[in-house]
Every structure is written in C-alpha cells, then in structure tokens.
C-alpha cells in the first residue's frame, strides 16, 4: 500500500495545556485527588495523546464508559487504574474485567449479583442521588448484595453542578447519608463543575472531564482552564464569483458583487456542523483575519470569503475558532458536543 498523503484537516492537541488543566483541577480539589474522565476517546481528542499527558502530570484514576475502551487506555496506565462506568451488564463483561483487571462500577443489584457469582472482589459503586441515570437507588444501599461488596470508590453524579440550583445541596446531603451506610475506601461526587462548587463536594476523589480538555464548566474556572484543541483545515480551491452568483446548497448566499472565495476542506462529517454557518456569523481564521462563512456547511466543505486576504490560496491553513465557551455561544452546541463530534479525518499534530 502506498504511503497516504497528508490530510487537509489537522488537529493540534496542546499537551502542556492539558497537563496544566489537570494540575489546576487537582489543586482546586483541595485534599482530594483528581482523577480523569477519558471516556469517548478522551472526549474525541485521542487517548494516545491525552492519557500520557495526564498520567505524567499525576493522574492515577481514569474513568471510561465502555469495556471496549479499556484496551486503548491500558496501553498507557495499569488496568487497575481504570474504572468502567457502565459496569458489568453481561457475563462477558465480568469475564473480561477479571481477566484484564479493570475495575467495574456496580450500578444495580443485578450487576452486584453477577459480580459476586463470578468471584469478583474490588469494585466501585455508583449510587443515584437524583440524576436518574445509572446507579443503585439509595434505599438499595442496605441490600446484602451491596453491603457485601468490597468497594474502593463510592460515587454519585451531580445533575446541575454547572448552575446555581438547589438540587446540588440536596444531592450533597443525600450523598453524605449514603457514604455513612456503606464501607468504602474513597468517596467521589464532583465532576469538573462540582470541583468549582467548593470543598464540601470534593470528598476523596474528583472526576473532572470537560475542563481537562478546555471546557469552562462554571465561571469560576474561566481564568484557570486553558484551550487544548486547535482544529485547522486547508483551502483546497479558490474561485472568483460574479455578482448574482450563489454559493452552496439551496443558494443561501448570493454574491453582491465580484468576490474571491475559498473552498475549505471541512464539513459536518468532521464535526463542523451547520450551526456554524453564516446565519450565526460563522467564520474561520487566518491569524487575526476573520474569514466569513458563505452559504451552508456541506458534508466535506465550507466556503469562505477571501476578500480581505487576497494573498491566501490553495494549501493555506485556516483555523477553526475552538475556544469552547465562545464556540458554544456561537453555535448553540454544548461544549461537550463540540469536542465529541470532531470526526476521524483529522491528522494529529
């Protein structure tokens, strides 16, 4: 097979910023240690690039969602450092956990029974305190199958930590009741936003995710968290439009006069969704120059106005403005979505 040519999309991951963010969140966690949520391929930014940076910064506990994520993370850390949030839902999950050594998060009585029957020992335990996703109900904490678990981390998950909401206090109170009802080694409640709620929410272990990768989960973190992901795309053709000519599907943009435009190699298949388009004042960047998007975003391409930059041409790279809080405001996508929708066609720098 011939060597693949260089892609016309690239994504620079600032490993120093990632390490800084983990250290900052660890420090903000006070006497608690910060773990790292690395599920979904480190929120789309790549396990092989992100896990080593956080491991070397000091992270010791790593959270994933699915069992098929274990192998990639275990290439960089001990399997015993990996917590699988979805838990052992099948006998195959249990067998894999026992063979590999990754630690399951028990979320239900049926999972607890399955783990016991297979001779499983150390596990984590999720208790639902109000978000109504995974986790045993608080009244189930007294069940013999739960009480007999050897629990490392007893955890719950905040539903509204990114806003001022009375539910935060209610969940905290519920969690305090729960941790007194089941023996455990560590307790964990706070995600990125929960860390910013203060020491009452930190317990022994915090579980930052979004803010590791540059997301601002609460305003208190705005001066602390650094941008991590920097996507770029190349101009693959330039065109000269005449007055009255249109651009893209549904002829959404019509040139008011002669203008030079560039076709850029990025589209919604790469996570650059139509919410970036010209109707929301979307643009790409070259240095300090803002290059407005023209017409609709296509699957593989967008078109930008090059009127202000006649020097740019085919092969020149343009930056996608990916400061997550700003991009979220512009596109109405959540900061989580902006990270995880990035496609697989980027070349990593």
Q: Which whole-number Å values give the CA distances from 282 to 19, 206, 241, 296, 342, in the listed order?
A: 30, 36, 20, 10, 17
Sign (positive/negative) of CA torsion 137, 141, 144, 146? positive
43 catalytically annotated: no
Give me the pLDDT at residue 280, please: 66
pLDDT of residue 126: 98
**What was the pLDDT predicted at 277?**
79
pLDDT band at 49 (very low <50, low <70, confident <90, very high): very high
Radius of gyration of the chain (CA): 23
Strand partners, 292: 283
Going along the chain from its start, the domains and CATH numbers come out as 14-214 (3.20.20.10), 229-321 (2.40.37.10)
Higher pLDDT, 3 or 114: 114
Question: Do residues 171 and 165 lie in contact, with contact meaning Cβ atoms separated by under 8 Å?
Answer: no
Tens-place pLDDT, residues 202-242: 999 999 999 999 999 999 999 999 999 999 999 999 999 99
**Is pLDDT at 278 greater than 60 in this prediction?**
no
Catalytic residue among 3, 39, 268, 336: 39
Q: What is the pLDDT of residue 56?
A: 98
Is residue 338 predicted with pLDDT exceeding 60?
yes
State how far Cα 110 lies from the chain centre: 29
Residue tagged active-site, from 182, 213, 230, 249:
249
Strand 186-188 versus strand 302-305 pairing type = unpaired
* 42-47: average pLDDT: 96
Would the pTM of this model clear 0.85, i.e. be above it? Answer: yes
What integer is the mean pLDDT of 131-148?
96
pLDDT at residue 279, rounded to an integer: 62
**CA proximity to 210, closest of 71, 326, 338:** 338
Mean pLDDT of the 70-74 span: 98
Q: Is the pLDDT of residue 281 over 90?
A: no
Average model confidence (pLDDT) for the chain?
A: 96
First to last CA, the chain: 23
Q: Which residues are CB-neighbours of 199 under 8 A, at least 6 positions away?
A: 30
| Phi and psi angles of residue 221, each rounded to the nearest 5 degrees, phi first | -95, -5
Residue 3 annotated in active site: no
**Nearest-angstrom CA–CA distance, 89 and 51:** 26
pLDDT, residue 308, reads 95
Collapsed DSSP state (helix, strand, coil) of residue 101: coil
Which two three-digit tokens encode residue 112? 């607890």
Instruction: Give me the percent of the chain exceeding a pLDDT of 90.
Output: 94
């Amino acid at each position: 097979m011939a060597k693949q040519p260089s892609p016309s999309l690239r994504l620079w991951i600032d490993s120093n910023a990632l390490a800084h963010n983990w250290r900052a969140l660890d420090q903000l966690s006070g006497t608690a240690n910060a773990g790292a949520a690395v599920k979904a391929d480190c929120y789309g930014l790549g396990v092989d690039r992100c896990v080593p940076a956080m491991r070397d910064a000091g992270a010791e506990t790593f959270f994933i969602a699915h069992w098929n994520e274990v192998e990639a993370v275990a290439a960089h850390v001990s399997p015993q450092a990996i917590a699988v949030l979805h838990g052992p839902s099948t006998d195959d999950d249990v067998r894999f956990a026992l063979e590999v050594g990754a630690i399951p998060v028990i979320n239900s009585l049926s999972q607890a029974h399955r783990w016991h029957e297979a001779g499983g020992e150390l596990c984590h335990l999720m208790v639902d305190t109000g978000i109504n996703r995974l986790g045993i109900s608080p009244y189930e904490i007294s069940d013999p199958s739960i009480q007999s678990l050897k629990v490392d981390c007893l955890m719950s998950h905040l539903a509204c930590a990114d806003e001022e909401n009375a539910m935060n206090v209610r969940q905290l109170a519920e969690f305090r009741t729960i941790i007194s009802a089941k023996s455990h080694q560590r307790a964990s409640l706070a995600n990125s936003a929960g860390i910013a709620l203060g020491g009452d929410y930190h317990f022994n272990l915090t579980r930052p995710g979004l803010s590791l990768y540059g997301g601002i989960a609460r305003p208190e973190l705005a001066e602390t968290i650094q941008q991590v992901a920097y996507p770029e795309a190349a101009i693959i053709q330039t065109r000269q439009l005449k007055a009255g000519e249109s651009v893209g599907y549904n002829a959404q943009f019509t040139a008011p006069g002669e203008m030079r435009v560039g076709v850029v190699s990025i589209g919604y298949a790469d996570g650059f969704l139509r919410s970036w388009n010209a109707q929301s004042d979307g643009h790409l960047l070259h240095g300090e120059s803002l290059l407005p998007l023209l017409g609709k975003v296509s699957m593989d391409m967008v078109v930008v106005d090059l009127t202000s930059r006649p020097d740019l041409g085919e092969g020149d790279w343009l930056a996608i403005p990916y400061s997550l809080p700003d991009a979220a405001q512009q596109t109405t996508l959540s900061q989580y979505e902006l990270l995880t929708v990035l496609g697989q066609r980027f070349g990593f720098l």
